Structure 1
Amino acid sequence: MLKYMADNNSMVGGESLIRKINDQVILVQVLVAVFLCINFLLITTFFMKDFFYTTTRYIFFANTLLSDCLILIVTNLLLNLSYFRVTMQMWLCLIMFTVSSLYNFVTPVTLTAMTLERYVAICMPLRHGELCSTRSSLHCILIIHGLSSVPCIVVLLVFFASVTHSFYKQYRVCSVEMFILHSWQRHLRSAISQFYFLIMCIIIVFSYVKIMKVAKAASGENKKSTWKGLRTVILHAFQLLLCLIQLWCPFIENAILQIDFMLYVNVRYFNYIMFSLAPRCLSPLIYGLRDEKFFLALKNYALCGFVKNKSLDVFHLTN
């Protein structure tokens, strides 16, 4: 560790930058801790009332929260282990890579499914109850995990066919790039990510256009509800964009690593905050604060039921 820090010091030429990097580490830990606490509170609220875990959009919301918690824990651990140059056996690194790779895709795919749910609710209201039942929501979550596992499976199949059993007992600093053994494998992984990006963008744009048409034709309360659904789709699109940019970050970081190590460290922390933490703090905003029913339940449970109001009483009577 001392040798590693000394090398860093010699590379940047001063102690102030070392302290700055440590400040970055502390900042990331604080942000991760805050987001995890908020997500755990939201997950607890979700399971407190049966209305939430029998409604499709809240089921998808809970799926994103669980996915975000897992990816934050695993990626933050990997980031710290990489920063402090802590080695581990490759079989353990393989498990962590599998989880991070899978849930990197689960969140954007779930966001796409949530956008489709809003499209069905607004543009096909008569079929919403049939298409978005609790059973179909659970089936959809299985499909989401199946689709999200495809990029990881492609990488791992090539990896398993290329290494010997002794490789899994080696101690190394864990990183995603260790499982990319061939240049064509990197191109294939990039092509799959871009294909997912294209399909998700098409779905988002299609849903936006259709909801926009309904919003213009609606009137009164329907118009208000439709425009709220349209704003939700826009937020999903922005959140999805940040998540999809994250899929390209390993390629950018690997290229920068070949140029300058300290620039690589700074870019990696910037990417983690902007494209991993930021989109995952939007989920609580979209459904934790903007959704009236969930916000009322969250406020009630956060205050341990000491504060109640008429809106909350109406919510309990109508659901």
Structure 2
Amino acid sequence: LCNSGTSCNMNSTGRLDGLNDAFSKNFIAFVLGVIINCIDGAFVYTYFKSEVLYQDPRYVLYIHLVINDMIVLTFSVALLFFTNTIDLTFAPCCIYTAHLSHYHQVGVHLITRLPLNLAGMAVERYIAVCRPLHHAQICTVQRAYALIALIWVVSLIPALTDIMVVLDTQPLSIFSRIVICYPTYLYNTPYHKAQSVAVQVLLFSFVVLTLIITYLKVLCAAQAASGSDQASARNARNTILLHGVQLLICTLSFISPLINVISLSIWPQGRRFILFTTYLLTELIPRLLSPLIYGVRDKKFSSLIRLHVFFKYSNSIENKMNLVAPWRKSKQVLQ
């Protein structure tokens, strides 16, 4: 129906995959989604079980990043499932595409919460190293929650603007039409394209500049410090570098259209396979890598995960074995 590189109007409908292909893709995406959400859920469980974590603004921002990834992943897999099974009207598609991008789309809407969250975490590390005497007064849990609320408000503005432009340029009957949930097909006016480019450029520039400036400041502090202060500054510098890696992982969704175009020009017959593979590599897998990069590296968080998740799980198995052992012995005696 809609070949790569072409545009579709808002009342386009149809199926891109057969029944077997749709089932296979839904199954793979569902299994990966459950696995990734379970791993991310272990981080969330550890956070809420450890009072020392949710009293630290650093971990408040981190767990917001993890929860956001879980929400985006759940919406993404749900949209894939609905796209391959039932027809959706314009209204529910607006809700889904306001939160995420999808592997069929030609262009990508950047999910703004993750980059802004990374920028906030980098600034917190900069204050901890370069302004240690003021860190406790500036970086509080209440201000971390306020920053999270601001991030959500800022991230909702582009989505609301998209819908407002549709209301202004399209008749209300558009919301009852059956469409394919691709953002570039839902929001395909020149206003949408201009707004998307402006938001992505401004947001990406702001986050990159924040990471570069905070990294250079912390680098200078690390060179000037000595002893334990130098080690702390070095850890903060490495943390900000990891934020840069996380940002690069986040921007994989930027290059997915380019990957699709290049791959389809080489192998046009494998369009369905290419689009789905790109979706897995740029939408699902990064939702696992981003929390792991930070959570596993952090000594405090990783030790608490072992305490609250792995040790508890191993102890529960040991307790079950202890309960079963007397029953087996009594059974052998009776025999």
TM-score (norm 2): 0.77
**In structure 1, the residue corresponding to 2:312 is in which secondary structure?**
coil
**Structure 2: which 5+ residue stretches go unaligned?**
1-13, 102-108, 316-335
Please give the per-residue CA displacement for 1:244-267, whole angstroms capped at 9, x wherever unaligned.
342464687699999997555344
Q: Which moved more, 1:231-240 or 1:283-292?
A: 283-292
How many Å apart are 1:197 and its aligned residue? Answer: 0.8
214, 223, 241: which is aligned to 2:221?
Answer: 214
**More relative contact order, 1 or 2 (CA 8 Å, 6+ apart):** 2
RMSD: 3.1
- Counterparts of residues 240-259 of structure 1 (less than 5 Å): 240-247=247-254, 249=256
Matched residue type, 2:35:
V
The answer on whether the counterparts of 1:64 and 1:110 sit within 8 Å (CA) in structure 2 is: yes
Q: Partner of 1:159 in structure 2? A: 166
Q: Partner of 1:304 in structure 2? A: 312
**In structure 1, the residue corresponding to 2:188 is in which secondary structure?**
coil
Q: Partner of 1:193 in structure 2? A: 200
| Cα separation, 1, equivalents of 2:94 and 2:257 | 17
Q: Partner of 1:94 in structure 2? A: 94
Greater Rg over alpha carbons, structure: 2
Is 1:180 equivalent to 2:181 in the alignment?
no
Number of matched pairs:
293
How many Å apart are 1:88 and its aligned residue? Answer: 1.3
| Cα separation, 1, equivalents of 2:249 and 2:82 | 24
| Cα separation, 2, equivalents of 1:253 and 1:188 | 23
Is 1:203 equivalent to 2:242 in the alignment?
no
Is 1:113 equivalent to 2:120 in the alignment?
yes
Distance verdict in 2 for CA 1:30–1:166, change over 3 Å: same
TM-score (norm 1): 0.80
Q: Which moved more, 1:143-152 or 1:203-212?
A: 143-152
294, 297, 302: which is aligned to 1:290?
Answer: 297
Is 1:150 equivalent to 2:151 in the alignment?
no
The answer on whether the counterparts of 1:155 and 1:189 sit within 8 Å (CA) in structure 2 is: no
| Cα separation, 1, equivalents of 2:284 and 2:28 | 12
Q: Partner of 2:325 in structure 1? A: none
Q: Partner of 1:70 in structure 2? A: 71
Q: Partner of 1:32 in structure 2? A: 33
How many Å apart are 1:85 and its aligned residue? Answer: 5.9
Please give the per-residue CA displacement for 1:260-298, whole angstroms capped at 9, x wherever unaligned.
975553443343333323432233323421111211211
Q: Partner of 1:44 in structure 2? A: 45
The structure with the largest helix share of the pair is: 1
Distance verdict in 2 for CA 1:111–1:263, change over 3 Å: farther
